[in-house]
Each structure stands twice: as structure tokens, then as C-alpha cells.
Structure 1
Amino acid sequence: MGKMFEALQKAEDENVRTPQAETVEPSLDNDTVFDDNLVCHFQSNSIVSEQFRKLRTYLFMPALGAKPKTILMTSAVSGEGKSLIAINLAITIAKELHSHALLMDCDLRNPSLSRWFGVNKAKGLSDYLVGNSELPDLLIKTGIDKLNILPGGDSQENPAELIGSKKMEGLIDELKSRYSDRHIILDSSPVLATTEPQVLYKVVDCIILVVRAGVTPRGSVQQAIKFLGKEKIVGVVLNDMNFRSAALRSRYFGTSRYYPYYGSDNNDKNQNFGSKFNSIFKKKQREQHK
């Protein structure tokens, strides 16, 4: 574990690479390029960002015991928006005063996290697990304070075996034990289509399941919960909820007076984004009584 710890410490130094701009606006001063769908960074005062703060608060509330160090984000099927939810949750955790976040792309079949941050064809987790790269060369500073990412890396023929390897388990254990203020968010592949979420189940503290409103079949959600087991599923994010009226929106969010950048007449793009990606966190207890 000593060598791994030295590698992780090195990754905290200035030698950690920062992604170079490969796309167009928006960009930050350090040339890191972000997708503007990262609402918790670009629209931190919006009603959407507030829902992610609620999610963070629920995860960290005393009723759940100790704060979870490792959070697995997955979905029953593909196309639910789990990666976008994972990214915005990681940003929200990093913005907490005393927390750091590491976002790991564990979907080695279809890695996508690096693209959201403007890094294409980046080496990452798979390259580390097969022994082709060292960890300090793979961690990326995002330009968002206290948020690093570990991309998925090059495509491999045996993603399930890599995710279930002793080397992967050792990496997670080391990250959990060495940093008391760091939370690791693992973006995984879908439950029904792949094996990896069930493999990762044993090394994470909790699981959040992403469901797309009006799209994901109820039976698929039930089957995913059956495969994973209920013990570590702390909640469900209902994504892409369509509020057809102001009254319905008010039922969930109340007045909009506290969100100065949401629904502004001068910012139609932000308004459209907010209506598309409103996410409601439903507690596990509510789901069990359906």
C-alpha cells in the first residue's frame, strides 16, 4: 500500500495533468473545457443545482450513519442520464466546505466522463488496471476546486474482470482509507446490461439508482433492485421529469424567488436546461412502499 499512497500523494501535486482545450466555449482560465450541461458549476444558483444540494444533504445526514466514502451511480438500462447525475453530484460534493471529490469512470465499455470535461481519448482506469500506466499519470485536475477525475481509459476486452480484480479492490480500499475528507463517486455501467455494478457492490458504501421519468419500465427498475439487493441502495434519482405546469413545479419546488438564474427572461437556454434536467431525489423508504 505504501507505493500506492506515494502515487496518490504525487497526484495531489502540481504534476497532475490538466486537460487541454479540445472543444469550444465555455472554458476556464486554466484552459480546461467543460460542457455547459454541468449545471452545478455554471448555474450554481439554479433550482436544478439546489436539488443536487438536497441529494448531497440526504447522503450526508446523520440518519444514514457515517458519511459514505464511496458512492456507486448506476441505472437499470442505458440512456437514463446517470453520468450527468454523477458529475453534478461530484461537483456539489466538491463545493462543500470540507469535502473533496474524486469522480471515477467505471463504465469501461462506454467511458464518457472525460468528454464532459473536454478531454478526448484520455487514458484512465483500464490502463491502470492492466498495468500500462501509473495512477499519477491518469488523474486529471478539472479546474473545479477539490474535484479530480479518473477517466475510463482505453477500451479493453475484459471490463468485468478488470473491475472485479484485486487491483481494483485495492485501489478503492486505499482511496477510502487514506483520505478522510474525500468522497469517491463511481459511474458504472447499467445493471441489466452488464455485470460490473454487481461486482462493485461489495466495495462501495452506498448505491444511487438513476431512473428516467416516463421512459424506464417499472419492471426494469424492480429487476435492477433485485440484482443489486436493497441493502446498499439509499435512494433513487428520478431524472428528466417534465413539469407541464407552474402549479406542478411549485408542488415539488415551491416558489422560484430563491433562484435568480432560473427561468430568467434573459436566459432562455438556462430555462430550457432546467426544465429538461430537473431531478427529484426519492428516498428509499418511499420506493419500498410503492
Structure 2
Amino acid sequence: MSTIEKALQKQREKNQQGSADQVQSETAAADGGNTPQESTAHANEPQQTTGPGNNNKRELIIIDQQNLKEQGLITDSTERQKIKDEFRYIKRKLLNNAFGSGASNLENGNLVMVSSGKPNEGKTFISINLALSIALEQDKTVLLIDADVIRPSISTELNISPRKGLVEYLLGEVENISEVIYNTSISNLKIIPAGEPHHLTSELLTSDKMRQLTQELANRYSDRMVIFDSPPLIEVNESQVLANLMGQALVVVEESHSKIADIQKAVDSLNEELAIGFVINKAVQTQKEMYGYYGY
């Protein structure tokens, strides 16, 4: 055999081997791209669930406990905090109305709206602490929703990076609400952020889709407390519409700042069938009692 013939024979053998390798590669791709060893390895990994409220692990929201402490928020540490005691008192009434003896007298008792008469009275601070306090319960989960889509602040307070949320769901950009219910590093706490600003944010809160969402949360997740950080009640008509979908309302009042007339006006805008409570916020404590700036 000449040198040229030997070279051609060698090339033919090389091409045949390449074809065999390609067939094997294509077969593996049709089977999911895994060799038997790889398939076994994946089978042993924890499987990603797709049920309500479960998201990809990469989307887990990490709640920085040190950041919570620095802001005067409740932490999950064993350290005694005055604020923990204060919110225990607040949440007990809400939990009783949702799941205890008061539940029979309320519709959607597990849906709690936290609002104030006017801005800057501390409603977001109360919403976050209330959710953190309920999350410490052994047998309860809590969903915290930033429904103040006009001036959202929960993500800022908790150092959460921008992501899809309530606005995207109400616009129809997200098909299933479970896609924007994010798990957090606090096992019993889930969050729906406000999402990206939109020129129709006010209309979204009064839409039929928002009404349907609240009914789904009340019925499908009836064993879960749902906290809505809502826009102020005065001069924001959307909040009054949202209040009609709730079972309970918590009105935040800033000590030495909120006017009696404003408080009365805020309460008058609420549905009479709501269970309404009040939280005195930013109360100045005596030096002996001073654990933090906020009191209730």
C-alpha cells in the first residue's frame, strides 16, 4: 500500500470514529444530556419543588440579622428584645382573630392590612416587625406583601435586590402568583415585593385581579397570615378599596404627630366589618425603659 493510500485509510478510520462519537453524544442529549453516572448523581440531589411559594434556590432572599438589629427590627436570636415583647402582645390579638375564637366573626381574618393616616408614620416598620414576630411562631407561616406600590419600601428596608413582584403579577407579566412569592432565610417568612414602578400602579390595586388575588390568599392559604404593607388611607382612594378585601386592619399612629382628626378620617374610610386595631409608633420612652426609639 502506497503512502497516499495509507493516509487515506487512516483518514477514513478517523471519520468513522468521529461519527460513532457523534451518535453517542446525540443519544446522550436525547436522554437529557446525562451519562448513567450523571443521571444517578442528579437523582440523589434534592429536587426543586414547584408548589405555591417555592422558588428557585437562586432566588432565596437572605435576611441579614445584623442589619435587622441595627434598624431596631426583631431578630431570631435568643437575645431578649423589648420589641419582641411588644409585638407578641400585638400579634396575639391578630392571630386570635384569624385562627382563634374571633375567627368565626370575620371574613378573611388572615388578611391584615397595615396602614396609617398619612405617610411617614412608620407603617412599614410595623409591617416588617409584625411579620418577623409571627415568623417566630412554631406552627405559623407569614407572607409579607409590599402593597404600597406607589412608594414601596420593604425591599429597601430589608436590602432586597430589585425583582419581579406584585406589579408584574397584576399586569399579567407573571402568570402564577407563586412565581413572585419568595422564600427567605427565615423559614416561616415569605415575601412578595412591590415590583417595578408602573404608571398604572394606582389602578392595579383596585383591579379585579387584585380582588381575586386576595380571595386566593384568604382561601388557598387559609393557614397563613398575610400582611399587606398598604398605602396611607387619607387621600389615597386605592387603600380604601383594598381595605374592603381585608379581614383586619392595623392603623399606625405616630405619637405627638398624628392628628385626632386625621385618625378619625382614616378610620371612617374603613369597612365597618373590619377588625380594627391601633399601634402607637415612635413613642418616646423614659431613659430607664429605653431599648430603642420605637414603642407601641
Q: Which of 49, 54, 65 matches 2:103?
A: 65
CA contact under 8 A between 2:244 and 2:271: conserved in structure 1? no
Distance 1:151 1:10 in 2: 16
Asked if residue 150 in structure 1 is aligned to residue 192 in structure 2, the reply is yes
Q: Which amino acid aligns with 1:176?
A: A
* Equivalent residue number for residue 122 of structure 2: 81
Within 5 Å, give how 1:238-257 maps onto structure 2.
Answer: 238-244=280-286, 246=288, 249=289
Percent of matched pairs sharing the same residue: 27
Helix, strand or coil at the partner of 2:262: helix
* Equivalent residue number for residue 262 of structure 2: 220
CA 1:8/1:37 → structure 2, altered by over 3 Å: closer, same or farther? Answer: farther
* Equivalent residue number for residue 88 of structure 2: 53
Tell me the TM-score normalized by structure 2.
Answer: 0.73
Distance 1:8 1:127 in 2: 19
Q: Which of 270, 277, 282 matches 2:294?
A: 277
Which consecutive unaligned segments of at least 5 residues does structure 1 have?
A: 1-6, 250-270, 280-290
Greater Cα offset, 10-19 or 167-176:
10-19
Which consecutive unaligned segments of at least 5 residues does structure 2 have?
A: 1-48
CA 1:141/1:34 → structure 2, altered by over 3 Å: closer, same or farther? Answer: farther
CA 1:137/1:16 → structure 2, altered by over 3 Å: closer, same or farther? Answer: farther
Distance 2:182 2:54 in 1: 10
Within 5 Å, give how 1:93-108 maps onto structure 2.
Answer: 93-108=134-149
Distance 2:92 2:65 in 1: 29
Distance 1:110 1:89 in 2: 20
Asked if residue 40 in structure 1 is aligned to residue 74 in structure 2, the reply is yes
* Equivalent residue number for residue 180 of structure 2: 138
Within 5 Å, give how 1:170-209 maps onto structure 2.
Answer: 170-209=212-251
CA contact under 8 A between 1:100 and 1:146: conserved in structure 2? yes
CA contact under 8 A between 1:98 and 1:181: conserved in structure 2? no
Please tell me whether Structure 1 or Structure 2 has the larger radius of gyration of its CA atoms.
Answer: 2
Distance 2:245 2:90 in 1: 21
CA 1:208/1:14 → structure 2, altered by over 3 Å: closer, same or farther? Answer: same
Q: Which amino acid aligns with 1:277?
A: Y
* Equivalent residue number for residue 288 of structure 1: none
Q: Which amino acid aligns with 1:149?
A: I
CA contact under 8 A between 1:17 and 1:139: conserved in structure 2? no
CA contact under 8 A between 1:69 and 1:176: conserved in structure 2? yes
C-alpha displacement of 1:175: 1.6
Distance 2:70 2:272 in 1: 34
Distance 2:72 2:51 in 1: 28
Helix, strand or coil at the partner of 1:228: coil
Distance 2:69 2:155 in 1: 10
CA contact under 8 A between 2:243 and 2:271: conserved in structure 1? no
Greater Cα offset, 173-182 or 225-234:
225-234
Tell me the TM-score normalized by structure 1.
Answer: 0.75
CA contact under 8 A between 1:16 and 1:137: conserved in structure 2? no
* Equivalent residue number for residue 16 of structure 2: none
CA contact under 8 A between 1:188 and 1:196: conserved in structure 2? no
CA contact under 8 A between 1:74 and 1:208: conserved in structure 2? yes
